Structure 1
């Protein structure tokens, strides 16, 4: 049931949003991702005139693991890398703003390595995809029922809802891709 919902959400993705909840505007399908409107993002990736991320591919292949770059219907409110203000000077993931709690889906096939609350991150999920590849999901408001360490998970399976736990200032997903323990930009990792 949740896998089907994930596919519907992703196929109906709207590529723009505001810094505060507002009515969605029509936009491109899931094949694109945009910066949130009305927000200045100091570490924003390159965009076109409609604030869509240039060269965005919704999937990445990292050491043989196929991963989604944005496993939630959202817009980008903070990119990867150095940033001014906010929660620290270097941002180790990408923030995907949803405005209100929204479903989060596993970014790839794997095994749940942790379901826990971490300082700063709030409620988190860590999934191991094999060959040293992991994805971390932070600031969740709720976990999927039955989600626990050791559970095998499929790409697109419902894992929780976005939130503002930890050091978050708005409802969003902080999403990280780690390879051999090192952070990589979810929006560009695996690009040739």
Structure 2
């Protein structure tokens, strides 16, 4: 029984690190208007961008899509807060030459590789980031907690999760989708 919890916890840790990166990318965290972990009635999307995760020399991971994407993010730190809980600190960057206003991020984590079936959502949340000046960033820490049932759903999918993140502003919407095997 402890081995199952350990495997589920390992999956959650790695998955949450990736998910938190996506959440940080989108600015999810303890900010006014945050709905972290609550159901999202309408999840806006645009054609998924192709992500290119890059491990930086300082141990953080940078995720961005094509050079022309209006936003990018880094996962700055992931800390364990329990067997199926992770505190993830991430930073959202405005890569545009102008101020981005009305920024809201939407994040969904699905159990399974390349899976966006709404029945397989194990975590979702939103956050109002607001306004980011050109070249500015927004850093936040988000707590991602999965139930044991949700962690088992990831385990039943051979440790794969799919993270779908949409950053919506007054002028643009961009969606990122990435699958990772977390255990």
The reply to whether TM is greater than 0.5 is no
Higher helix share: 2
Higher-strand-fraction structure: 2
TM-score (norm: length of structure 2): 0.30
Report the TM-score when normalising by structure 1. 0.29
